[in-house]
Chain A
């Protein structure tokens, strides 16, 4: 991995399984997300810190790179067409931005009504976004780091077993001041978390100094 030393990070914390987290990452800072135990999806939303109505756009991101998956070099593009963050390091290799986040409502449709009352990423997002004056209208199609969702030429669209090994990480360079909102995915009905949600670690480096 890169030379970034955890000892010099300005933030280094563990997000327990099923929990959300948010913080503003300043332009020029690097956010690292670590899949500590492997096969753990991390759902992510991004908002421009000084104009929260400008936010991450999955479709703008895919259009710009003409590719269905997120990996090293991907620029995460905003709804106004501006780069928000750039993937500058990635030991996993493939991340999703087409499958959205899990919700009580979609779980009930996919897996049966008995799965409605399980914690989900949308619950996490609603609670975390509320701290910033945002709500359900602001939950757009998100990034799913470490989530493996191959799309085949026939259109088959499948959440399959993750390829991220324990300790896999992705480094994101902020291109603007960005409110980052993460949900350590609680899903237990599909393979995105290996049917067993685990902790992740988040670090931020300030390279500007």
Chain B
């Protein structure tokens, strides 16, 4: 048993370290995030495009990404709110973990410069381009009751089907990231609000795979969105070789936590 004095000293030291990390994480690191991508910029050269698919409202797709390839999702109408889940290709017991993603980065506001973590403390994706900056890491996708009622397609059903096609099942479906889904949290009471004005036609996001990954994307209405499947909500899903950033990489050095996560991820790839 540790003597009480030693235990107290350890607790004080841990508290100090936590407050320092918090101060940096919500101060200097937060301030160092790159600006949002401009709509209409960062065009993909034809030679860099590997595959392209337009997914209609209500439907889903799956994709395999090799490390360093980039998944681009484009909202063609301003209505789309695609939900995404992912696993490590080769060991799908390792999967996207949004709780760790927001906790480690001290923020639920995923945007350009942020990363998406796996449950093993490794980086699955870097958000290297993002015009919208309003994604929902808390509430997730639609279910039968919220997706337009019985008989309509919804994200839960899409993910069960998508997981099945990848040889996985409903035990494997993690919490989902809803893109172009501006959900905000009330300052005191925690009530969620939908901020439609933060999304627009042409919004896109580039997720660079930092490990070989399996991805499932469901293109259904967000449960808090006022418009459902009656509105056109097609998305473009593109896989491309990625842009070259060099030392100005928007994600690799945003905070000590992220640097540690990348270091651990690189060990996986050796």
Give A contacts to B, CB under 8 Å. 53, 58-60, 62-63, 66-69, 79, 81, 98-101, 103, 105-106, 108-113, 135-141, 151-159, 188-191, 195-196
Q: A159 to B103, Cβ gap below 8 A?
A: yes
Interface residues of B in 1-33 (CB under 8 A from A): 7, 10-12, 14-15, 17-18, 21-22, 26
Q: Which 10 A/B pairs are nearest by Cβ-Cβ distance?
A: A100-B99, A155-B109, A105-B121, A59-B140, A195-B11, A68-B190, A69-B190, A151-B185, A109-B121, A155-B108
How many A-B Cβ pairs are below 8 Å? 148
In the complex, what residues of A have CB within 8 A of residue B22's CB? 158
In the complex, what residues of B have CB within 8 A of residue A154's CB? 107, 109
Give B contacts to A, CB under 8 Å. 7, 10-12, 14-15, 17-18, 21-22, 26, 93, 97-100, 102-109, 117, 119-122, 138-141, 143-146, 156, 169-176, 184-187, 189-192, 223-224, 257, 260-261, 264
Q: A109 to B10, Cβ gap below 8 A?
A: no
Nearest residue, chain B, Cβ from A159: B103
Q: A137 to B120, Cβ gap below 8 A?
A: no
Checking A58, A66, A135, A191 against B18 with a beta-carbon cut-off of 8 angstroms, the contacting residue is A191
Least CB distance, A124 to chain B, in whole angstroms: 15
Least CB distance, B97 to chain A, in whole angstroms: 7
User: Could you jot down 14 A-B contacts, CB within 8 Å?
Assistant: A53-B171, A81-B156, A99-B102, A100-B97, A105-B120, A109-B104, A109-B117, A156-B106, A156-B109, A157-B102, A158-B106, A191-B18, A195-B11, A196-B7
Q: B104 to A81, Cβ gap below 8 A?
A: no
Q: A62 to B138, Cβ gap below 8 A?
A: yes
In the complex, what residues of A have CB within 8 A of residue B121's CB? 103, 105-106, 108-109
Nearest residue, chain B, Cβ from A60: B143
Least CB distance, B23 to chain A, in whole angstroms: 11
In the complex, what residues of B have CB within 8 A of residue A196's CB? 7, 11
Provided the pairs A59-B140, A153-B186, A188-B11 are in contact, do residues A109 and B261 lie with their beta carbons within 8 angstroms? Answer: yes
Least CB distance, A105 to chain B, in whole angstroms: 3
Complexed CA–CA distance, A103 and B119 (Å) = 9
Least CB distance, B57 to chain A, in whole angstroms: 19
Complexed CA–CA distance, A113 and B260 (Å) = 8
Least CB distance, A157 to chain B, in whole angstroms: 5
Q: A63 to B103, Cβ gap below 8 A?
A: no
In the complex, what residues of B have CB within 8 A of residue A67's CB? 189-192
Q: A68 to B185, Cβ gap below 8 A?
A: yes
Given A108-B264, A156-B107, 16 further pairs, Cβ under 8 A:
A59-B140, A63-B140, A67-B191, A79-B173, A81-B144, A98-B99, A103-B121, A105-B121, A106-B100, A106-B117, A110-B103, A111-B18, A138-B171, A141-B99, A141-B174, A153-B186
Q: A158 to B170, Cβ gap below 8 A?
A: no
Q: A63 to B14, Cβ gap below 8 A?
A: no
